[in-house]
Structure 1
Amino acid sequence: MTVLLSGRHFGLLPRLASEINSTSRILFSESQQFWGPYTPYYPVEEYQQPPIGCSITQASTLLQRHGARYPTSGASKRIQRSLQKLLNASKYTDMKLEFLRSYQWHLGVADLVPLGSTQSFHSGAEIYHRYSHLVDDHMLPFVRASGGDRVVMSAVNWTAGFADASRQLYHPSVSVIISEADTSNNTLKNSMCPNSRASKNETNTWRDIFSPSIVHRLNTAAVGAEILSQDIPELMSLCAFETVSEEKESQFCDLFSLQEFQAYEHYQDLQKYYMTGYGNPLGRVQGVGYVNELLARLKGTPVEDHTQTNTTLDSSPITFPLDRTVYADFSHDDEMVAIYSALGLFPQTHPPSSTEASPQSTWVVSRLVPFSGRMITEKMQCFEAGIPRDFIRILINDEIQPLAFCGAGDGLCGLEAFVDSQIYARHNGDGDFEKCFLE
């Protein structure tokens, strides 16, 4: 695991807070915005201040994915199996593959890479500068993390960035770490629905449409490699993992065109849609517990939930306070997709096509849950005819969500209307949670 201490990481000094807005998107490759969940964080839009007559009273809540990491153990094994086919080739007929003659595997497993540490540090600094008016000695952010090492370290790095931006005046700590054991109730990790089954049919259909030309090209360039369709997404992900690890463009990126990475993005879009998104009948229910925690914070009332919440933690003002102005939770991409779906964000009239990619699609994983991707729910007070009312707005990677399900579609939603709109969560998933355990 990787930790930033005093703003440094093995000699790497994170960018000054004043530079963050201009450097939020680190450019390694033209294709990086099409790496799906392995895309480095970038703001989809420039942050917009609240409308005139409105002021933020509570930044509730920052929900953030861990920073850039090495591949997980399962992904690492799949990538290396596909890579070995290229390494076993009897000869290379394309100069782009010559680097493989001396190539050696050097990636770690699952832990944060230095870039991942810096991403979280920058996020902490950015949140401080944006919401510093909500913070004082007696009102520090309340920080929780799911128990995976990369998630906990992302939370730690975030607190360091927050403290650094405040010139060490305010140093929040990670107050709650929620176990990721299969038997643990955890609203920050999708591990409580054993009957959830992600369909791979749609993803594989699209893979088998976009990959044959790549398979033919690589097998021609690497004689005897015997690359198959299922190897292509693994090799394309290696481009992303090596790039974020080394902070320079991997030579594997040169093996694929920009259009092919666009097809790879759609492959990842389909995968998440049918993993914990709307395409899985038991996908969105895995985000219900978190949504009910969010509603409790917004209303300042105890959590009402009978799904994933840990009642011991959530019933205590020490481990689940309701009086803070800034909250920060650290999680995983699959859980965040479930939460977006439970909230009703990014609704789809029709499922993403498994036979073609649409440039008009709003279900784009690199924009939903990139490395260090984040959702911010802002509670604000606005005056209408001189009367104050509470509103909320939700930003995903700084893009304001329309919230048409509870407002005029302009991104502002009355607090009561927003709470009322969350029927699925308030009804504990309308019976879907029980289906997670039916035999």
Structure 2
Amino acid sequence: MASSSSVAAGPTGLSYPSGFDMKASWANLSPYADALDFNVSKGFPSECELSQVHVLHRHAQRYPTQWPLDGGGMEAFAQKLANYTKRHPSKKIGTGPLAFLNDWEYMLGLNTLLPTGAATEATSGALFWSQYGRLLYRADRGDASWNASLNVYSNGTSRPKPTFRTTSYPRILESARWWLSGFFGNTGANSSYSEYNLVIIPEVDDFNNTLSATDSCPKGTEPGDNAAEAFAPTLVKDAHKRFAVYLPEDLKLDTIDIVAMFNMCPYEYATLGQSSFCALFTEKEWRDFEYFADLQFYGNYGFGSPSGRAQGIGYVQELAARLQSKVIMSSDSSINYTYDDNTKTFPLDQPVYMDMSHDDIIVSVLTALGLDYFKYSPHGMPTSVSQAPRRTFNLNQLTPFGARLFSEVWTCPKDISFKNLQPQKYKNPDLSSEPNTTDYIRFVLNNAPVPVDGLTACDGSVNGFCPVEKFLSSIPDLNKEAMYQEACFGDYNITSQVGNGQPRNP
């Protein structure tokens, strides 16, 4: 967890005396790394059978979007420099640490999944097989990768070919295929197609899709951008003064230009392997940059958004349906029941489910679950602060490139204790014939279990393990708290952050 920094701003550069790693402050643009922890013990219960894992996955490294605080701002910054050079062909743009701008070219495209992103997804799928797949499919010694002969029920009869879901957006679709190439252990990204079915749900405006919920929930995504814009002058103030010394007097950078220079670092790192922009900012400024991004997501998709719960409730409803082995025949959320009302496109009783989606969906699902760990205050996260405050909502821990939220299902014997967990699970016991077993669900975000405080039906849970029956009993209340129709289509005008992911208190 990032903390507030009381350390004086040191010299800029690629390394810092404190040992600070700037990549951990790139927020949702950070390369994937396991989360440190969310104050819950990691590990696995040795006596329990791992029955299912539901994977909600983010795409990996990509080119920027056209959003003004993202690619739109970077393109405008690049054009400003190009226009200046055109007007003053004999003049240098930068000196000192900004001298690289004299030869710099904007090399980024838009939206496309990058080769580094493909590698992140393939690695994620392979790691998932190693950690979970071999247990769920009871791989034998020497079974290093998937084999279709493992896809059988406990009585030995063949299971249907596994089905996974993605959206139609190119970077999401390609991320799904690369993840599956890793899971199925193929050395060629396209050679695993025959092993699975892939349901591709259109990602277009006004089309219900739980993996892209904002397309069908048009309201409530302004407070985060407004909060970030309010904090932006604090973010850029020192850098703006510092850079002015090395630029022509008649080349004026504005706030969005400095934000673009921040953004250029992680995007060029993902695209080119390194970036001269990375050396321009202090440790404090990188921590503030992460907070700038956190403000956007907290207020647009999290507890600070009036539709934060509503945007994530559709996936939560689908998870509940899968846990009950039920298809969904109607929708009061972002669910598209033309996909979910049949087992061809909404399969049941699979050991593994994988849905490829966006970073905002992971944030909104955590919000729809009402997990208090990620809640800041009744009034959102502050903008009138001199530096990033201490908080538990940090995007580099929640939604780095390739982020993954696992919903594990464990079948456990009576009187199980979850206090002592083992770091590695070598064998998956078969408890199908054992009497008096109980199913538990645990949420694991980027390989770190998540506390279920705030999900009241799970009160008393140890290390995040909640009885599935109790979790399912919470769904009606979570549906009410989401206020989907009012949050997504109501007659309200909320432009600042709220406290509980709703347009009003229920």
Q: Same fold (TM over 0.5)?
A: yes
Report what 2:468 is aligned to: 415
Partner of 2:393: 363
SS of the equivalent of 1:272 reads helix
| CA contact 2:61–2:402 (8 Å) conserved in 1 | yes
Contact 1:120–1:154 (CA under 8 A) maintained in structure 2: yes
SS of aligned partner of 2:440: strand
Q: Is the 8 A contact 2:163 2:345 kept in 1?
A: no
TM-score, with structure 2 as normaliser: 0.75
Q: 2:403: which partner in 1?
A: 373
Partner residue of 1:301?
Answer: 326
In the aligned structure 1, how far is the partner of 2:277 from the partner of 2:197? 37
Q: Are 2:209 and 2:335, in contact at CA under 8 Å, matched by a contact in 1?
A: yes
For residue 259 of structure 1, report the CA deviation from its aligned partner.
Answer: 1.7
DSSP-derived class of the 1:182 partner: coil
SS at match of 1:58: strand
- Report the Cα distance in structure 2 between the residues aligned to 1:425 and 1:262, rounded to whole angstroms: 33
1:21 corresponds in structure 2 to none
Match of 1:64 in 2: 57
Going from structure 1 to structure 2, the CA distance change for 1:253 and 1:381 (only over 3 Å counts) comes to same
Q: Tell me the SS of whatever aligns to 1:354.
A: coil
1:365-413 deviations in Å (ceiling 9; x for gaps)? 1111111101000000111247310001001101100112313352111
Higher mean alpha-carbon deviation, 264-273 vs 409-418, is at 409-418
- Measure the CA separation in 1 of the matches of 2:388 and 2:313: 29
- The residue that corresponds to 1:157 in the other structure is 178
Alignment of 1:309-388 (within 5 A): 309-345=335-371, 346-350=373-377, 351-356=380-385, 357=387, 360-385=390-415, 387-388=436-437
Structure 1 residues 56 and 359, CA, compared in 2 at 3 Å: closer, same or farther?
farther
Q: Is the 8 A contact 2:333 2:484 kept in 1?
A: no
Residue 443 of structure 2 corresponds to residue 394 of structure 1: yes
After superposition, residues 266-305 of structure 1 pair within 5 angstroms as 266-303=291-328, 305=331
Q: TM-score normalised to the size of structure 1?
A: 0.86
Residues 19-76 of structure 1 show CA distances to partners (whole Å, capped at 9, x for unaligned) of: xxxxxxxxxx9311111111111111489442232221111x1100001001113332
Instruction: Give the aligned residue type for 1:180.
Output: E
Cα 1:157–1:349, aligned 2, differ >3 Å: closer, same or farther? closer
Q: Distance in 2 between matches of 1:209 and 1:317?
A: 52
Q: Please point out which of 24, 42, 45 is paired with 1:51.
A: 45
- Matched to 2:409, the amino acid is K
- 1:134 is matched with 136
Q: Distance in 1 between matches of 2:56 and 2:126?
A: 15
Answer whether contact 1:407 1:414 (CA < 8 A) is retained. no
Choose 265-274 or 83-92, whichever is displaced more: 83-92
Counterparts of 1:123 and 1:416, CA distance in 2: 30
The runs of 5 or more residues in structure 1 that have no matched partner are: 1-28
| Alpha-carbon contact 1:141-1:328 (below 8 Å) kept | no
Aligned match of 2:240 in 198, 201, 215?
215
Give the deviation of 1:347 after TM superposition: 3.7
User: How many angstroms apart in 1 are the aligned matches of 2:202 and 2:193?
Assistant: 27
- Spell out, residue by residue over 1:159-186, the C-alpha distance to the aligned partner (whole angstroms, 9 max, x if none): 1111217999996435201101113210
Asked if 2 retains the 8 angstrom alpha-carbon contact of 1:407 and 1:417, the reply is no
Deviations 1:307-335 (A, max 9, x none): 11111110111100111110000001122
Once the two structures are superposed, residues 89-122 of structure 1 have per-residue CA deviations (whole angstroms, 9 ceiling, x without a partner) of: 7545642211111111211211011110001101
Residues 289 and 308 in structure 1, CA contact (< 8 A), matched pair in contact too: yes
Match of 1:436 in 2: 488
User: Contact between 2:125 and 2:180, CA under 8 Å: does it hold in 1?
Assistant: yes
Corresponding residue of 2:230: 205
Q: Tell me which residue corresponds to 1:25.
A: none
Question: Cα offset for 1:438?
Answer: 4.0
3-state DSSP of counterpart to 2:57: strand
* Greater Cα shift, 391-400 or 216-225: 216-225
The AA in structure 1 aligned to 2:241 is H
Q: How many equivalent residue pairs?
A: 408
- Structure 1 residue 84, shift from structure 2 partner: 3.8
2: CA distance, partners of 1:407 / 1:381: 19
Q: What is the rounded CA distance, in whole Å, between the counterparts of 1:432 and 1:43 in structure 2?
A: 32
CA contact (8 A) 1:125 1:165 kept: no
Which position in structure 2 is the counterpart of 1:78? Answer: 73
Contact 1:57 1:379 in 2 (8 A): yes
Distance 2:444 2:242 in 1: 41
Q: 1:196 pairs with 208, 220, 233, which one?
A: 220
Percent of residue pairs identical: 30
Name 2:255's counterpart in structure 1. Answer: 229
Distance 1:374-1:202 versus aligned 2 partners, 3 A rule: same
Cα separation, 2, equivalents of 1:109 and 1:169: 28
Which whole-Å CA distance do the structure 2 matches of 1:170 and 1:146 have between them?
17
1:430 and 1:86 map into 2 onto residues whose CA distance is: 46
Structure 2: stretches of 5+ with no match in the other structure = 1-19, 86-90, 138-149, 152-157, 416-434, 492-506
Check the 8 A contact 2:164/2:354 in 1, yes or no: yes
Instruction: Give the counterpart letter for 1:53 in structure 2.
Output: E
CA gap of 1:169–1:151, structure 2 versus 1, over 3 A, is: closer
The structure number with the bigger radius of gyration is 2
CA distance in 1, matches of 2:162, 2:405: 16
Root-mean-square deviation (Å)? 2.5
- For 1:3, the equivalent position in structure 2 comes to none
Alignment partners' CA distance in 2, 1:321 and 1:84: 49
Provide closer, same or farther for how the CA distance between residues 437 and 352 of structure 1 changes in structure 2, counting only shifts above 3 A: closer
Q: Secondary structure at the match of 2:215?
A: coil
Report if the CA contact (8 A) 1:145-1:329 is conserved: yes
Residue equivalent to 1:258: 283
For 1:175, the equivalent position in structure 2 comes to 198
> For the residues of structure 1 that align with 2:21 and 2:36, how far apart are their CA atoms?
18
Alpha-carbon contact 1:162-1:170 (below 8 Å) kept: no
Task: Using the TM superposition, give the Cα deviation of residue 211 of structure 1 relative to its aligned residue in structure 2, in angstroms.
Answer: 1.4
